[in-house]
């Protein structure tokens, strides 16, 4: 691999290898406690088996853009970002009661099988999934701490880990608190920023930069690039959630409607809807399962009110803002090239 050139597939393979080895070892030790833990250990490994490894990539280029060379210890540290993401996904699917992720049963659905002959198997499966998510977050910190980077480097980044966890949990809490409230675009964008944007792009970049000893100017530039790009990422994901195909997204199309989640897409629809259209939207959101007919009706209403086009414009504006910030940083050419490519990847398809 030529490390001064960006090869996403090769980088993904490096991160996948780190995660596979590390989580397999941890899962083996976990299952060794008692044979009954086998299904939980299997779910632990399954939870990290998929993904584009974008968060690891942003951490890596946060390091490289600050002038540091390719380093296997840094790749291990960057891989820990994917364990944070895996933990967030398990918890998010549990909170939203989502049945599918990457086309497969989510953790709380899959773990019902381990307790299917027990009383309250649904509740037990959910409890097991919650604990899998907790364990993944713990393993993320451990992988980071044992990455092999010098202790002084790790100490520079340690405060950012607290900020990452705090912001991520704050975003999840805000989504729960605002679910079912009158849709509001400003509030929806705040949820997006804290629940997804910061831990997907900005904070991995800042952690990579802190490890590398990046200065204030570079760190400010990382935030100016990372926040709007992270928002674009989630806005794209929200569009795909309702208008993408389940085969491509690996999720159920009705999740956002069924959960009445405070997405910008829903908020923009509500903002321009008249009284009659708002009554229709309330009726759709009030269904326990909107089904195919409800999904079709919601899509048609959103299209009629141009909500997808307005969200698409939000995505374009945020990507342009991120790229302008990147241009202003005057980073080494390989880093600029890679971060530009990552920005376009995020804009086309969030994952």
At 49-91, the pLDDT tens digits run 999 999 999 999 999 999 999 999 999 999 999 999 999 999 9
Q: Is 106 helix (H, G, I), strand (E, B) or coil?
A: coil
pLDDT of res. 351? 41
- Hey, what CATH class is 8-348 in? mainly alpha
pLDDT band of 350, cuts 50, 70, 90: very low
DSSP character for 118? S
pLDDT band at residue 101 under the 50/70/90 scheme: confident
Tell me: the pLDDT tens digits for 257-315? 766 778 999 999 999 999 999 998 888 877 777 778 888 888 999 999 999 999 999 99
Does 1 score more than 60 pLDDT? Answer: no
* pLDDT over 50 (residue 119): yes
Alpha helical stretches, state H, 244-306: 246-249, 255-259, 264-272, 275-285, 291-304
| Best CA proximity match to 348, nearest among 263, 243, 240, 250 | 240
Question: Of 11, 28, 43, whose CA–CA distance to 338 is shortest?
Answer: 11
Tell me the pTM: 0.92
Question: Strand, coil or helix: what is 36?
Answer: helix
How far apart are alpha carbons 248 and 231 in whole angstroms?
21
Q: What gap in Å lies between CA 52 and CA 11, rounded to an integer?
A: 10
Residue 181: predicted pLDDT: 86
User: Nearest-CA neighbor of 83 among 164, 154, 192, 9?
Assistant: 164
């Amino acid at each position: 691999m030529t490390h001064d050139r960006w090869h996403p597939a090769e980088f993904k393979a490096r991160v996948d290898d780190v995660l596979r080895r590390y989580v397999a070892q941890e899962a083996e030790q976990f299952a060794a406690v008692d044979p009954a833990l086998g299904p939980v250990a299997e779910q632990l490994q399954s939870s990290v088996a998929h993904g584009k490894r974008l968060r690891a990539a942003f951490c890596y280029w946060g390091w490289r853009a600050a002038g540091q060379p390719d380093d296997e210890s840094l790749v291990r540290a960057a891989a820990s970002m994917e364990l944070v993401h895996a933990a967030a996904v398990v918890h998010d699917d549990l909170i939203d009661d989502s049945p599918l992720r990457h086309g497969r049963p989510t953790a709380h659905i899959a773990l019902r099988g381990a307790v299917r002959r027990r009383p309250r198997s649904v509740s037990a499966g959910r409890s097991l999934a919650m604990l899998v998510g907790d364990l993944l977050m713990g393993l993320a910190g451990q992988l980071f701490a044992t990455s092999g980077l010098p202790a002084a480097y790790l100490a520079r980044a340690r405060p950012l880990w607290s900020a990452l966890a705090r912001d991520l949990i704050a975003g999840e809490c805000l989504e729960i608190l605002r679910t079912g409230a009158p849709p509001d675009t400003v509030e929806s964008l705040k949820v997006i920023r804290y629940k997804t944007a910061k831990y997907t792009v900005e904070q991995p970049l800042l952690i990579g930069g802190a490890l590398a000893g990046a200065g204030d100017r570079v760190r400010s530039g990382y935030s100016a690039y990372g926040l709007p790009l992270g928002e674009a990422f989630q806005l794209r994901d929200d569009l795909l959630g309702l208008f993408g195909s389940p085969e491509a997204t690996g999720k159920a199309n009705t999740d956002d409607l069924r959960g009445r989640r405070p997405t910008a897409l829903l908020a923009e629809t509500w903002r321009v809807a008249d009284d009659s259209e708002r009554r229709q939207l309330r009726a759709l959101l009030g269904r326990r399962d909107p089904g195919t007919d409800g999904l079709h009706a919601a899509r048609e209403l959103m299209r009629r009110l141009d909500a997808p086009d307005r969200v698409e414009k939000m995505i374009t504006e945020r990507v342009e803002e991120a790229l302008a910030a990147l241009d202003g940083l005057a980073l080494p050419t390989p880093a600029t090239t890679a971060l530009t490519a990552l920005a376009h990847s995020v804009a086309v398809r969030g994952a």
